[in-house]
Structure 1
Amino acid sequence: MTLLTGENAKTTITAKNYLTVPPGDYPCGDNLYLIVSPSGNRRWLFRYQRLGVKRRMGLGSAKLIKLSEARDKAIDARRLLAKDTDPREARDEARRAEGCPLFLRYANAWREIYEKSLRHRASRGKLKRIVEVFCKPLHQMRLDQIGTDQIIKLVLDPIRHQVENARDTRQRLKLIFDAAIADKHRTDNPADYETKLRPKLGKAPKRGRARGKHKAMSHHDLPAFTRKLAARPDLSARALEVTTLTVARTAEIMHMKWSQIDFDIGLWEIKAADMPQDTEGGESTKNDCDKLTPLPRQAIAVLRKLYDGRVCEYVFPGRDLKSPMSNNTMLKALKEISGDPTLTVHGLRGTFRTWAQDETDFEEEIVEHCMHHITGDAAEKAYKHGKALKKRRAVLQAWADFAATPPALKLVSAA
């Protein structure tokens, strides 16, 4: 590098002389330098220091880029430094993305379109978490440079023990790369399970619990349990009472709001669009219908007492009163009251289903409807417009009466 001395060191670079000055390094302000080699080649250079290390970034040939353009680039680079961004790394990233988009930019654009097809806020939140958190190691990689080995090592291996998260991430990655193929950014899918991932990963592990296998309490033990439950004064016990009497899902009880309850006609309504994700049962609404739940007399009595002392919009608020009660709060109470550490709150729905099957003659379709399971294929469901409120109210009232039966008698209300 040639250093300027004497008169040359004082030379001011202008739009008129930058193509004629002799060899040397000429400061132009804003960390910009004109570098003229002994052979006469001229280039613009941006010098800076980041994290204690001196660095430089070429801004192009002075024969192709004017002084004013070079100064603009230098100012842009200084702005990036002010935002704690390395200008050379930002430039290199932009160059990599010119031929093919980077994963994060493309995946976010895809997500904004795809999530419109998802009904539930929880599902949209899960998709965002997959793209932004689980797939973070892929963010700055070009779509066409991501291979199966990278997906396994960087994304799937770290969450392999999280069976559902690993499965959902793998499935969403496949959709993202399918879209990239459709947009001609790739010709193959590195996240295809059957042809790319399974031969290397082996068979995917099963979920920790199969749906419908949640440990349930025997219905013969329910009356004794509800008597113990009624004796507890805490809010978690009241949440378990309402859960038992309405056979609702855990998350539905957690997110129950006073605005959803009509005490005059004894109904609890949840709009399909507001149906929460069940954090314990792993399921949300199984259909596109609003959920109308007839409230048994016992449930209304519990809710009226709670209404008199309400403190926020949630029937069962959390500690900060701005969010719902945690599902673990009910689970802990269930285990303490029952004395069985293997039971789950979601299993109470199984208790109801077994009681209805073994002890009553209620129609199976109506019993399933009480659990918000609309039976039949797509064609049948299209013609089922009725809510069967009268029939479901009879089932749930019989269930509530059974739960309130003195344990020693164990009487069951007939259909």
Structure 2
Amino acid sequence: MALKELEARYATKRAKDYKLADSGGLYLLVRPNGSKLWRLKYRFDGKEKLLALGRYPELSLAEARLRRAEAKVALGQGRDPGAKAPVTPVTTFEQAARAWHKNRIASLDAGHASRLLTRLERDAFPALGSRDLRAITSADVLAMVRSVEARGALDVSRRIKQHVSQIYRFAIPQGWADQDPAAYLSDLLKPKPRTRHMPRIGLRELPDLIRAIDRYDGEENPRRRAITRAALLFSLLTWARTSETRLATWDEFEGLDTAEPLWRVRAERMKMEREHLVPLSTQAAALLIALREHSSSSFVFPGDKLGQPISQNTMIYGCYRMGYRGRQTVHGFRGLASTWANEAEHYRPDWIELALAHAERDEVRGAYNSALYITPRRRMLQEWADTIYGMIDGKAAVSAVMNHSPQRESTT
């Protein structure tokens, strides 16, 4: 029987290696460390051989089957699909960069690997790609970096300089280059502007903010008032960014009526371009259920225009109307939650950072630490929700949504 995508996705690690067979010699090898590797068993010249195709989920089931088909074509032509292609001498920067990227890709998150290569193709290759590795000077690299700085992308300029150094450190031991021309450029880069943290109140003022949201009456239209209140409360409960809340659609939510409700935010909607799983508290799930009863829109928080979500300013204007202009932003809700969790001292930093959908600061550690910590994060967010609802009549916000049911929209 052919392997199913869900079987591959939810295959769990065991004490020993085990295989999930597809067909035609293709199978997924699941290792005790949790890694999942595609393997293709085939025969060539009367001998059984094994071909490593790649790692799941970086290489999907459909892509693995395509690789299997390509291998079968090679066998039909009398070629060994596992035979290494003739080695092409590496002389140019682009050749070295692509070899370095290929060497690292298995240890990187798929989204990060894609962004890294895009960065090189957009900024480095046009200036340095066809140049001989040994002929590139520090001035050449600096000119390329300056062109990136010129468009205001100071974070990218630092990353691209770092990538050049990494590529040369990969190339030098293999005899492709003699020195790193980017080694001494750090002091010449433009400094990044100081980070401007989103305004937020202190934790001592949190009860007043919660009660202000609960009693929110900043809009005359009952429908808009109820939706704004619900969106503010939902963002606070889930630690979500403004865009993640306002663009939420009903098909992203799973099991709202069960003990383990989940919000699955698609990768293309996330800042870090990877899927974000939010275990929902019972209060967040109840709020969604109340909203769902009165909505026919695909958006959880529909706006005034048919088929559109609330605007990007709806919630921040709500903060202004509550008297928090310059003191508290919606993005600042995340800072409040993070401060609360860190000061509690019994939530692990990994749980907090994952709940905020932050990237792992230690790139090497992040490559190996792929745990999602759904259960402890669910407990943390539930305790946060209990804290919030302990400051108000917990049913008030939900009942307000139900009493001021939004006018139904046609499904978008």
Relative contact order, CA 8 A, sep 6+: which one is greater? 2
Structure 2 Cα separation of the partners of residues 389 and 166 of structure 1: 38
**CA apart distance, 1:381:** 11
- Which TM-score applies when normalising by structure 2? 0.52
Residues 321-332 of structure 1 mapped to structure 2, 5 A cutoff: none
Cα offsets for 1:130-180 (capped at 9, x unmatched): 112222322332322222111111233532643322222222222222222
User: How many residues in Structure 1 have an aligned counterpart in Structure 2?
Assistant: 289
Structure 1 residues 390 and 158: CA distance shift in structure 2, 3 A: closer
Q: What residue in structure 2 maps to residue 148 of structure 1?
A: 138
Cα offsets for 1:88-130 (capped at 9, x unmatched): xxxxxxxxxx975433344244334434322252x23431331
Q: Is the 8 A contact 1:219 1:354 kept in 2?
A: no
Aligned residue type for 1:394? E
Structure 1 residues 297 and 373: CA distance shift in structure 2, 3 A: closer
Residues 354-369 of structure 1 mapped to structure 2, 5 A cutoff: 354=339, 364-365=346-347, 369=351
Cα offsets for 1:195-234 (capped at 9, x unmatched): x113544xx6245427xx4321342441214533885745
Structure 1 residues 322 and 228: CA distance shift in structure 2, 3 A: closer
| RMSD (Å), alpha carbons | 5.0
* Equivalent in 252, 256, 267 of residue 263 of structure 1: 256
* Equivalent in 396, 400, 403 of residue 385 of structure 2: 396
Q: What residue in structure 2 maps to residue 348 of structure 1?
A: 333
Q: What residue in structure 2 maps to residue 293 of structure 1?
A: 279
- Which TM-score applies when normalising by structure 1? 0.52
Structure 1 window deviating more from structure 2 (100-109 vs 125-134): it is: 100-109
Give unmatched runs, 5+ long, in structure 1.
1-97, 408-415
Q: Is the 8 A contact 1:246 1:296 kept in 2?
A: no
Structure 1 residues 245 and 105: CA distance shift in structure 2, 3 A: same
Q: What residue in structure 2 maps to residue 173 of structure 1?
A: 164
Structure 1 residues 322 and 219: CA distance shift in structure 2, 3 A: same
Structure 1 residues 247 and 146: CA distance shift in structure 2, 3 A: same
* Equivalent in 121, 125, 132 of residue 121 of structure 2: 132
**CA apart distance, 1:263:** 0.9
Q: What residue in structure 2 maps to residue 184 of structure 1?
A: 175
1:159 and 2:149 correspond = yes
Structure 1 residues 128 and 148: CA distance shift in structure 2, 3 A: same
* Equivalent in 186, 191, 200 of residue 198 of structure 1: 186
Q: Is the 8 A contact 2:200 2:329 kept in 1?
A: yes
Taking every aligned residue pair, what percent have the same amino acid on both sides?
A: 21
Q: Is the 8 A contact 2:123 2:144 kept in 1?
A: no
Give unmatched runs, 5+ long, in structure 2.
1-87, 357-361, 397-412
Q: Is the 8 A contact 1:241 1:299 kept in 2?
A: no
Structure 1 residues 388 and 180: CA distance shift in structure 2, 3 A: closer
Q: What residue in structure 1 maps to residue 200 of structure 2?
A: 216
Structure 1 residues 118 and 269: CA distance shift in structure 2, 3 A: farther
Question: Which of the pair has more CA radius of gyration?
Answer: 1
Q: Is the 8 A contact 1:318 1:324 kept in 2?
A: yes
Structure 1 Cα separation of the partners of residues 93 and 327 of structure 2: 43
Structure 2 Cα separation of the partners of residues 134 and 307 of structure 1: 50
Residues 374-385 of structure 1 mapped to structure 2, 5 A cutoff: none
